[in-house]
Amino acid sequence: MRYRTLGKHGPRSSVVGFGAMTLAPGTYGSVTESEAEETFLAALDAGYTLIDTADIYGGDGASERLIGRVLGARRDDVVLATKFGGNQDERGVLIPGLGRPDHVRRALDASLSRLRTDRVDLYYLHRLDPTTPVEDTVGALAELVGAGKIRHIGLSEVSTRTLRRAHAVHPVTALQTEYSPFNRGPEKEIIPVCEELGVAFVAYSPLGRGILGGTVRGDADLEGSDWRRGNPRFQGDNLARNVSLADSVATLAAGHGVTTAQLALAWLLHRGTFPIPGTRRAANARANATAADLDLDASAFERLEELVPPGAAAGEQGNASYMANIDTA
């Protein structure tokens, strides 16, 4: 594993982080507590220090609770990141008011309790609250930085305009957005602005939500409760097209002696981002970590971009309700 500073003034962390949504059952199907614990311990042992979770993972903070229980004496060895403000109603609509200062403080205290810690190293606004000026939300976060309850501020899925407004109130350390060979939209505006402001870009779902990890070949590979069943990229002809794209990347990866996932992660590292792949399997966590140490020629990345150019993936990033919760103004 390699390590570098998260953004211009952030903490030093592993260049590949661990996305802990998969440690809780729900979004990506089932996982037992023992499987989740084994996977998380494997990630820690493999050198991951950037650990990313959220208060909604597992529906009731299950991911945070497992992390808090398992970390124990290793708490100071990691950059612990969590998020607030992503709760949705039964229709998938973002609940209003989650960016209000009073909610920010309550949400943090609840996360600290579940994580069994006195501070969060990186605290993200999960989704922009359209009913609250981002300046008010970041102002509350800045007060929590001053109180020592959080070390750094992060934003997730926001526009360049929102990022600039937030950054003017208090320096933003990291911005998190979906980014992978299948989702290259951030290259147009948000990544250049992050570079301008010295904000680390954290890439979630860096393996195309599993397609580039080789775990999804067809509808039968998704459990009935799996969130991806409602995602346009995993439906019908779209899924077949995207699996075909992944197969072409797999052929390229095999020619370089690596897996498809390792090549995709190495490409993201080559672009200066911090990918945070998630997995329910300890072996995958170990394999993903090795992407940080690969020494691939730039031609491999150029060929990857030829195989999967911007817009090649079939289907939208998410369904209508999902996309409505993303700040694109």
Confidence of residue 30 (pLDDT cuts 50, 70, 90): confident
Q: In which domain, by residue range, is 129 found?
A: 3-324
Q: Are 271 and 246 in contact (CB under 8 A)?
A: no
Instruction: Look at residue 282 and tell me if it is in a domain.
Output: yes
Residue 29: pLDDT band with limits 50, 70, 90: confident
Q: Residue 259's pLDDT band (boundaries 50, 70, 90)?
A: very high
Looking at every residue in the chain, the average pLDDT score rounds to 95
- The pTM assigned to this predicted structure is 0.96
Q: How far is CA 308 from CA 11, 180, 182, 314, in A?
A: 33, 10, 7, 11
Q: How far apart are CA 132 and CA 91, in angstroms?
A: 21
Tell me whether residue 329 is in a domain.
no
User: What mean pLDDT do residues 165-173 have?
Assistant: 98
Least confident of 22-26, 108-112, 179-183, 203-207: 22-26
Catalytic residue among 57, 123, 124, 204: 57
Percent of the chain exceeding pLDDT 90 equals 88
Let me know if 57 is a catalytic residue.
yes
- Euclidean distance between CA atoms 119 and 84, whole angstroms: 14
pLDDT for position 227: 82
Rounded Cα gap, residues 98 and 84, in angstroms: 8
Domain count across the chain = 1
CB–CB of 132/166 below 8 Å? no
Domain-embedded: residue 191 = yes
The string of pLDDT tens digits covering residues 271-320 is 999 999 999 999 999 999 999 999 999 999 999 999 999 999 999 999 89
Identify which of 255, 264, 79, 96 has the alpha carbon closest to the alpha carbon of residue 181: 264
Find the CATH number of the domain harbouring 311.
3.20.20.100
What are the pLDDT digits (tens) for 123-161?
Answer: 999 999 999 999 999 999 999 999 999 999 999 999 999
Which pLDDT score, from 0 to 100, does residue 10 have? 97
Q: What is the pLDDT of residues 207-222, one digit of tens each?
A: 999 999 888 888 888 8
Locus of tokens 């650990």: 51
